[in-house]
Structure 1
Amino acid sequence: MRLDDMTEAIGNTPLVRVDPAVHGLRHIDLYAKMELLNPFGSLKDRAALAMLRPLLDGAVRRGDTVVELSSGNTAKALAMLAGLHGLPFKSITNRMKVPEVKDLLLLLGAEIEELPGQAECLDPADTEDPLTRMHQALAADGSGYVHTDQYFNDNNIEAHFAGTGAEIVKDLDGRAPDYFIACVGTAGSSTGVARALRQHDPDVRVIGLVARKSDFIPGIRTIDEVHEVGLFDPDVYDRLETISADEAIDGMLTLIRRCGTPAGPTGGGAYQGAVRHLRALDSSLTERRTAVFIVCDRMESYLSYLRERRPALFGRPARRNDHRSLSAAEVAAAPAIDVPEAQRWPGLVVDLRSPYAFQAQHIAGSINIVDEVFDELLHGGLPFSQRQPVLLVCPVGEKSARYAALLTRMGHPYARSLAGGVIAWRDAGATLVRD
């Protein structure tokens, strides 16, 4: 095979049958679309090329910088594509949560700008969110930037309609699968593939997987976050189901150890969600069915993510006072207070958001301890006196609830979470200050 450049290697990834001895389904053939075999390592290679290609001539002529609001695979693919054409690339995000991804982007020559954001995901309707204001500024003529705009660019969907989805049908001998199980991130791949499959068979069942609230799974958004994504259309999915970080890691390990597939946690979540959903149907089927999920990217970028959540995989002991060990009942029972009571709070207020978000807007008198740092403090024991009332604050009250539950388990009698987080505080008209 001889190619003129690496873009010609994007697409035409294999569709691989998963051994029934692994998944245990008796009446369903399960296939994995191996998008991790794209040249830059993920399914985002397709979308990046489709979004950038129509903008390239003008960008090269003007010497513009390619820019995207991304801290993951889209940024990596765009950095590679921009470099192919001698253009700089800039990644704008409100938080780089996976250290390996940040290091890789810097290695690729990308510039990274971290802006404050009210939440972990762009909310295009929130005009007070600095990340949203930057999104709007990038659309201005003469900005010196070419913005690929993955959250709103229909070429993101088209890349998977004409490419990924069409390839699945071709590889199934012109048939669409009965079930398509997809993780929902920007919603480009799930929407594009679903449209392609339903063009061949309107009865294809599409199951969307979102991350459990307060869980972080790279590449998968929570149900609250997906509604902030411009390409997300709930009508695409016959059903939305929740996947946890533990399930995603379990699925990832199965793909790596039993299927010879060096998948990342998104692919692991897709596999585990697919098997869970299909297992409930399998026993009632009398005819064979076919199901497809996507292995989105590779495992190498997520070793720190795994070390933090599964230290035993690397021969390390379990960490003390880990909020991930909390039961659902403990988290549900986490002590929380509403905004009026929080306005009268007599003790310490700890804001767990990123320093950029904290600098943009925060509760007067609060201190900023980023959740990862706070997590480290708790592994060593209580970081403050049991007599000190502590109110924990995060964007929407989910992470703070987990930490309030953990502090309660550790014996702190006066730890509370702000119900609804900073968003509830803002929506109630309570004062936020800027630093």
Structure 2
Amino acid sequence: MIVKNATDLIGNTPMLEIDPSIHGLKNINLYAKLELLNPFGSVKDKTAWNMLKHDLAEIKASGQTVIEASSGNTAKAMQMICAMHEIPFRIVTNRVRVREVKEILQLLGTEIDELPGQSQCLDPTDPNDPLFVVEKIMSQEPGKYFHTSQYTNKRNLEAHIEMTGREIAADLDVVHYFVGGLGTTGSTRGTGEFLKSAGSPYLKSIGIVCTKGGLIPGIRNSDEMHEVGLFEKEFYDEIIEVSVDEAIDSMLTLVKSCGVLSGPTGGSSMAGALKYLRSIDATLTEKKNAVFLVCDRAEWYLSYMQKYRPQLFGLKKKASALAEIDEAQCESAPSLDTDRAQQWLESDNNVLVLDLRGSLAFKGSHIEGALNIPQETFEELCENSIPIAEGRKILFVCPVGDQSRKFSAYFSRLGFDCASLQGGFVAWRDQGKPTKKGRRRAKCKVAL
């Protein structure tokens, strides 16, 4: 087969029927839709192409730069397409958390605006939002940018109505269960909508998210779905939470047993599919069909795998006492409501307020005298040492009070006099407790 353009290779991805000896289902045929075989390596090739192809000529003629808030795969595909048409491309993101993803974007020449590290804890007060920053950039230079807006763009959905859904329907007369990870939600919604209209009216659409506080690249965790403009909870018959370990286990099954070089997102979809289907399978008396998406490739995620499964690379796994804190320990961790916390701060000058929110949220407003170390950064510090002086009292503050409990449990176990702020900074602010805005960074003048 000879094609004139790489974009001609987008779509028409095959499906692999998974051997029952691998998945263990007796009455359900399980198929993997191999979106990793798109030319730029992921299901987002379809999204990127459909959002750009209608406007490329006009964008180039007007000298615009394409701008997008992307965590990786969409950015990769859009950069490739823009480069082929000699169009500048810029991304704004706070979610490039896998080294290879950032490196491939740099290799491709992407202009990256990487915002300060964001806490994994849900933060309704944080202005450190890529979409907000994109709008600000565009308002400063009107007409310079073309914003594809993958989180709200209906062409994201349409890409999977016209391609992914149509392709699956061409291969299977009827689909009873469709499973995919929830990022922008374009692929799962678009595919599901088409399948329901094309011979599968009783389709069950199952969305997959990562468990709270976890990181599976390409999908959101259970706290983050509010950020997604296209997300409609009622569209999904069920939303299944999958842990990092479950995603990696199924990813390795796809790689080693099925010969599919899937990334962790594909692993999460397979894990979630089996979690949902196993109980149903036992009740069936006739064969059903289930399809899950394998979104992208393993090669982008080697550093991620080294972090979570170092033994696969001959490395020793770091012992992390913080990671061993379970929900029961969090529930019993020392905590204070806002009134008692305020009394503690006013009566004892030795209390350190450690604010775990993102840096821009802290800059916007915080408890006076607080030290800001975003949660992800503080976790890394705790893995290597105890970053707080012995004898110091600590009030841990996160946005809504759930993640700070883990640190309170951990440091109290180490002998610190500490507590988590119940309800987090949101409760402190909403109850009218005193706050302070962050200082502007002074400009430095250098004499030569």
TM-score (norm 1): 0.91
Question: Match of 2:192?
Answer: 194
Question: Match of 1:208?
Answer: 207
1:393-432 alignment runs, 5 A limit? 393-409=397-413, 411-430=414-433, 431-432=435-436
The 2-side partners of 1:293 and 1:307 are apart by 26
The 1-side partners of 2:131 and 2:118 are apart by 10
Q: For structure 1, which runs of at least 5 residues remain unmatched after alignment?
A: none
Query: Is the aligned partner of 1:373 residue 2:368?
Result: no
The 1-side partners of 2:318 and 2:193 are apart by 45
Partner AA of 1:75 in structure 2 = A
Change (3 A) 1:272 1:356: same
The 2-side partners of 1:126 and 1:364 are apart by 17
The 2-side partners of 1:427 and 1:37 are apart by 50
The 2-side partners of 1:7 and 1:67 are apart by 20
The 1-side partners of 2:329 and 2:310 are apart by 23
Partner AA of 1:179 in structure 2 = Y
The 2-side partners of 1:424 and 1:64 are apart by 44
Which of 220-229 and 190-199 deviates more?
220-229
Question: Match of 2:108?
Answer: 108
In the TM superposition, residue 139 of structure 1 has moved relative to its aligned partner by 6.2
Question: Match of 1:391?
Answer: 395
Partner AA of 1:407 in structure 2 = F
Change (3 A) 1:122 1:326: closer
Q: What secondary structure sits across from 1:224 in the alignment?
A: coil
The 2-side partners of 1:412 and 1:129 are apart by 34
Query: Is the aligned partner of 1:304 residue 2:303?
Result: yes
Question: Match of 2:445?
Answer: none
Partner AA of 2:108 in structure 1 = L
The 1-side partners of 2:151 and 2:432 are apart by 29
The 2-side partners of 1:126 and 1:137 are apart by 18
Q: What secondary structure sits across from 2:392 in the alignment?
A: coil
The 2-side partners of 1:391 and 1:408 are apart by 11
Query: Is the aligned partner of 1:91 residue 2:85?
Result: no
Q: What secondary structure sits across from 1:269 in the alignment?
A: helix
Partner AA of 1:418 in structure 2 = L
Change (3 A) 1:424 1:89: farther
The 1-side partners of 2:85 and 2:202 are apart by 43
Q: Which has the larger radius of gyration?
A: 2
In the TM superposition, residue 112 of structure 1 has moved relative to its aligned partner by 1.0
In the TM superposition, residue 129 of structure 1 has moved relative to its aligned partner by 5.0
Question: Match of 1:54?
Answer: 54
Residues 161-183 of structure 1: CA distance to partner in whole angstroms, max 9, x if unpaired? Answer: 111011011111xx231111121
Change (3 A) 1:7 1:273: same
Change (3 A) 1:429 1:219: farther
Contact 2:15 2:34 in 1 (8 A): yes
The 2-side partners of 1:75 and 1:419 are apart by 38
In the TM superposition, residue 398 of structure 1 has moved relative to its aligned partner by 3.9
In the TM superposition, residue 121 of structure 1 has moved relative to its aligned partner by 10
In the TM superposition, residue 3 of structure 1 has moved relative to its aligned partner by 1.2
The 2-side partners of 1:147 and 1:79 are apart by 13
Contact 2:120 2:376 in 1 (8 A): no
The 2-side partners of 1:305 and 1:143 are apart by 38
The 2-side partners of 1:239 and 1:261 are apart by 26
Question: Match of 1:328?
Answer: 327
Query: Is the aligned partner of 1:351 residue 2:348?
Result: no
Contact 1:165 1:192 in 2 (8 A): yes
The 1-side partners of 2:423 and 2:117 are apart by 16
Q: Percent identity?
A: 45
How much is the aligned-residue C-alpha RMSD, in angstroms?
2.5
Partner AA of 1:393 in structure 2 = V
Matched pairs, number: 431
The 2-side partners of 1:253 and 1:379 are apart by 26
